[in-house]
Structure 1
């Protein structure tokens, strides 16, 4: 299971998965705040841990900046974690599935706020709404 931050939460979830589902689960740092490295990191993970059959993008940095005072730096940070890196992971995973003949699954978990605005949620809502774009093969 990949994570960007929250290594203790990732470890706890992996322990629960092992206990409840009797399957191996390992927390793996990915670094979603550095999108230029996502593709290489994806391939490093495959090389180290073996093939995968699914990807679940569940990253989310929630920002409550007012839509009337958006900051360009914060906009880039939120879009990087909530949109750019998940799309790059989706692209790398989809390409990997096609190249290797894997009938895998990719799930992008967004938020109810991709359609239902929240006060001060301009950046979060926009980033989650954009993650619903379909990819075609």
Structure 2
């Protein structure tokens, strides 16, 4: 495991699923972690879990699509944990609705969290990094949906493709400030957000048969990935789409 001792990281949506897996991975490497998420009860449980792995952990309740919440969360994070070293833009929601039945309100609801939230969070992280003048790492969590079409996922797909473009732009624009940005693209992973899909035998058979390793991932398998992408020693690694999908997108 890499050493992230002394590094402060933020993980949005880090109170469960993949986000918690990324947060624990950073903590296991010695980093301190701030969880930004809305559910106070799940936040408390996540802090307890992360703290068991060594680093200091805090949780800040807030909405990633609310500009004031994000600004306040960053101030509190830096005040309690010290200068920002890594920011993981992971928070997201999903809505599975056929295109012809998707309302404008639903479209905007998904993009407000996934894409507007990604913009507001990474902009605040960028401002903090530039102000500190010490460089840093941004990890934007997208989806394998950037490589294929998925019926009933118009808003989700648009948001995740937008995040990939945002991440590439951040990598170019922030490089002169020694701030790296990479896009993490996870494959099918067992999380609370997709328990309905996990219960669908036909869907599980279709997706696992298309995945060369013949299974879905568990969030714990992203521990090392998080530590790698957060590592401040990797000063030349930026603008990369890091696929961790069991080979799904190449098969």
TM range (shorter): 0.7 to 0.9
- The answer as to whether partners of 2:64 and 2:121 remain within 8 angstroms in 1 is no
Shift of 1:85: 1.3
Q: Tell me which residue corresponds to 1:103.
A: 135
Shift of 1:100: 1.1
1:78 corresponds to 2:129: no
Greater shift in the superposed pair: 112-121 or 90-99:
112-121
* 1:7-62 Cα distance to aligned partner (Å, 9 max, x none): 33333332222212x1001111121243x324532443246424321110111110
- Which entry has the higher C-alpha Rg, 1 or 2? 2
Q: Distance in 1 between matches of 2:150 and 2:37?
A: 24
Q: Return the TM-score normalized by structure 1.
A: 0.84
Gaps in structure 1 of 5+ consecutive residues: none
Among 76, 79, 98, the residue aligned to 1:45: 76
* Structure 1 consecutive aligned stretches of length 4 or more whose deviation exceeds 4 Å: none
Q: Distance in 1 between matches of 2:49 and 2:70?
A: 28
1:120 corresponds to 2:152: yes
Among 89, 92, 100, the residue aligned to 1:60: 92
Q: Tell me which residue corresponds to 1:132.
A: 164
- Aligned to 1:68, the other structure's residue is in SS state helix
RMSD of Structure 2 on Structure 1 (CA):
2.0
In the superposition, relative to structure 1, how do residues 118 and 6 fare at CA in structure 2: closer, same or farther (>3 Å)?
A: farther
Q: Distance in 2 between matches of 1:96 and 1:81?
A: 21
Shift of 1:78: 0.6
If asked which structure has higher relative contact order (CA below 8 Å, sep 6+), I would say 1
Q: Distance in 2 between matches of 1:14 and 1:47?
A: 17
Q: Tell me which residue corresponds to 2:46.
A: 13
Instruction: Name the one with the larger strand percent.
Output: 2
Q: Return the TM-score normalized by structure 2.
A: 0.49
Q: Distance in 1 between matches of 2:65 and 2:124?
A: 17
